[in-house]
Amino acid sequence: MRKLSNDELHRKSVPEFRSSAKSPFIIVLDNVRSLNNVGSIFRTADAFLVEAVYLCGITATPPHREIHKTALGATESVAWRYFNSAAEAVAELKAKGYLIVSVEQADESVALDCFVAEAGKSYALVFGHEIRGVSEEVVNLSDACVEIPQYGTKHSFNVAVSAGIVLWELAGKIPGKP
């Protein structure tokens, strides 16, 4: 066994990425304060061919040195938009037919491994503030809440880790994904 070289990985160029068919997901960041988390989420969005990242409220926007440090250029490939609030972004996405799925511990949340994402539908995945989570206003606007099952003493993951787990799980369940 040997490690593959970068040339052997056949990575897309930025223009190839932009013209590629995307997965049916938009990521909405609801007041995510850490620029390193924002950059990591951009990088994960690139890996899963996410349609766009919506940056809301206090969430910082590119270009920024701290975002670039973890995004490693993904802010150039992944489309993004800024909204004053996540509720504003969610309202626009609902009007476009997206199903709003907040990643949050709520009284009616569904375990991530039990959530069924349907082919042919588009999803806005909302991730919240590192301490306060997704705002109650956005939870109330959501079509569903999913929760990542956890078994230890802590009751949360880092938001960038959560984005990776959720995208891995959902992208693997949708037939005909890119």
Q: Which residue has the tokens 């620029």?
A: 35
Nearest to 40 by CA among 62, 72, 82: 72
User: Taking 80 as the threshold, does the pLDDT of residue 87 lie above it?
Assistant: yes
Reported confidence tier of residue 177, pLDDT bands at 50, 70, 90: low
Tokens of 111: 């375990």
Domains of the chain: 7-171 (3.40.1280.10)
Reported confidence tier of residue 146, pLDDT bands at 50, 70, 90: very high
Query: What would the mean pLDDT of 25-44 be, rounded to a whole number?
Result: 98
Tokens of 107: 């009284």
Q: How many Å apart are CA 44 and CA 29, to the nearest integer?
A: 13
Reported confidence tier of residue 147, pLDDT bands at 50, 70, 90: very high
